[in-house]
Homo-oligomer: A and B are copies of this chain.
Amino acid sequence: MWWHRVSVFSGKVWMYLLRGEHRKYGLRFSLFFTGHRYISQAAAKIDVDFDYDGPLMKTEVPGPRSRELMKKLNGIQNAEAVHFFCNYEESRGNYLVDVDGNRMLDLYSQISSIPIGYSHPSLIKLLQQPQNLSTFINRPALGILPPENFTEKLHESLLSVAPKGLSQVMTMSCGSCSNENAFKAIFMWYRNKERGHNNVTKEELESCMINQMGIILIFPSLGIGCLATTHSKAIHKLDIPSLDWPIAPFPRLKYPLEDFVKENQQEEARCLEEVEDLIVKYRKKKKIVAGIIVEPIQSEGGDNHASDDFFRKLRDIARKHGCAFLVDEVQTGGGCTGKFWAHEHWGLDDPADVVTFSKKMMTGGFFHKEEFRPNAPYRIFNTWLGDPSKNLMLAEVIKVIKTEDLLNNATHAGKALLTGLLDLQARYPHLISRVRGRGTFCSFDTPNDATRNKLITIARNKGVVLGGCGDRSIRFRPTLIFKDHHAHLFLNIFSDILANFK
């Protein structure tokens, strides 16, 4: 039980950080000694052996070494998105160390893609076992020449956490390939259903471009097929040709939810109606909506949530109109919401048809029902089709998640984080609004883009890495070994930032 190990936070490292910054930047930290602005009186010490016990800042971030490296990288590619350069050898647990020796509590974890923290001892051990070497250096073409343990590792890893009702799985090398290939599986399923048979005629093979199908909804991946459906930032889509696929709105809920029950129900009803309208409208144009894709929490688009009821009704609409129901769990999957898959919270009677994943799963890919299985070889195919070394690591990661009860941890630590954020919202309503979250997958809005970015920058210089999403949100994407005491540590630091924010 992780909470038995929580002990009282000494504040030593934390003081060091603030004093260090005080000296360097001449900021005032009187509040550190007043204490009343701290959300938590009992931030905790480390309870994971390999984790550090707090941030440790030596320079502004990016520091001089990072800036030097950014300049070099910028010579060979646009490096303007780089935050700073990292020393991954020294990064451990929830702490990311940069090349200037700054150690930061990482609540963004490589855009939500580090499952059990940096340099986890189990993964180091895995790499050190001689029998695993071959998996890392002999990368096969999985679709034609899989390794002996391929199926076994899929059972140990992906299939051991497969969403209910989805017995089939394909692996892919990244998130956008996962969604693109899931679309392909859906189109094939739809056309086979239309044909009423699985045999393709010669005529069909010879004129096989079916441009009259699309997928409805909202998600952020970045391939050309995927771009047709993205609600991500405009800069991702600018100048890129796209398919004419219908896009429906994701509900925009008002917070606190308990004060806006009726408004939010209306908003969700409006969005569901638009989905049905789009299906009908496109059918009138002789265009087919073969499927509906949705993220359980619309992530890049600004961490938008909807009720479980909304998703159950969306699933019903998909079934009613003969559309496949695809749940994009690329960002929400892997346990951060307190269940392995965020859509498990919905309590669907009829499972999703297809579920895509990547990021924390270390490999991309998708689960699907048996009826979505391609009816011939090579229909879902590319050279690598994923990477067995990622499956090997994922099997170990899932073992750690189970052994250390990390799903319950995400629920518990998420509650500590959310409670603290709500408290900050009550105290700083001009800076923080719409606090929301499930497990540690939390977020809040700031007044505008400029304030958001300023808060992220200040937090970073105080030893906390945060991420933004949408046009004004800050999102939390910690690892699964993020505990209550990390939440308290963050809340203390952030409370201080808000108190001093100008």
A-to-B contact residues, CB < 8 Å: 65, 69, 72-73, 75-89, 91, 96, 99, 110-111, 113-114, 118-120, 123-124, 126-128, 131, 133-141, 143-148, 150-151, 154-155, 159, 167-170, 172-177, 180, 183-184, 187-188, 190-192, 200, 204-206, 208-214, 221-226, 233-244, 358-359, 362, 364, 373-384, 389, 393
Contact = CB atoms under 8 A, between A and B. Distances in A.
A110 B380 CA distance: 17
Nearest to A122: B137
B188 A239 contact: yes
A117 to B, nearest CB: 9
B208 A237 contact: yes
Contact of A146 (B82, B183, B225, B379): B82
B159 A76 contact: yes
A217 to B, nearest CB: 16
A111 B77 contact: no
A85 B147 contact: yes
B225 A210 contact: no
Given A77-B168, A85-B147, A237 B209 contact: yes
B150 A376 contact: no
A240 B362 contact: no
B84 A145 contact: yes
Contact of A239 (B88, B91, B136, B191): B191
23 contacts: A69-B150, A72-B151, A73-B151, A76-B168, A81-B144, A85-B148, A86-B146, A88-B138, A88-B140, A89-B131, A96-B145, A120-B137, A139-B362, A173-B364, A174-B177, A175-B382, A188-B238, A188-B239, A191-B238, A206-B234, A210-B240, A224-B226, A233-B378
Given A173-B173, A206-B234, A114 B138 contact: yes
A144 B187 contact: no
A137 B76 contact: no
A144 B241 contact: no
Contacts of A96: 145
Contacts of A135: 88
A81 B143 contact: yes
Contacts of A173: 173-174, 177, 364
A175 to B, nearest CB: 6
B378 A134 contact: no
Contacts of A86: 140, 145-148
Given A81-B144, A88-B138, A151 B383 contact: no
B222 A384 contact: no
Most interface-central of A148, A155, A364 (chain B CB within 10 A): A148
Given A91-B134, A176-B223, A212-B241, 13 more contacts: A69-B150, A69-B151, A73-B146, A73-B151, A83-B145, A87-B147, A119-B134, A124-B137, A127-B133, A177-B177, A188-B240, A191-B239, A200-B238
A77 B381 CA distance: 12
A236 B181 CA distance: 11
Contact of A205 (B82, B147, B155, B235): B235
Given A77-B168, A138-B118, A382 B174 contact: yes
B378 A81 contact: yes
A83 B213 contact: no
Contacts of A376: 78, 80, 235
Contacts of A80: 376-377
A137 B113 contact: no
B143 A82 contact: yes
Nearest to A200: B238
Contact of A238 (B78, B99, B204, B238): B204
A205 B383 contact: no
A75 B170 CA distance: 12
A63 to B, nearest CB: 12
A12 to B, nearest CB: 27
Contacts of A118: 138
B69 A148 contact: yes
A383 B177 CA distance: 12
Contacts of A208: 234, 237-240
Given A82-B145, A241-B211, A140 B110 contact: yes
A91 B210 CA distance: 42
A374 B78 contact: yes
A83 B124 CA distance: 33
Nearest to A96: B145
Most interface-central of A84, A99, A120, A145 (chain B CB within 10 A): A145
Nearest to A233: B378
Contact of A241 (B87, B88, B243): B243
Pairs of residues from A and B, 4 with the lowest C-beta to C-beta distance, nearest first: A224-B225, A81-B377, A80-B377, A173-B174
A125 B442 CA distance: 43
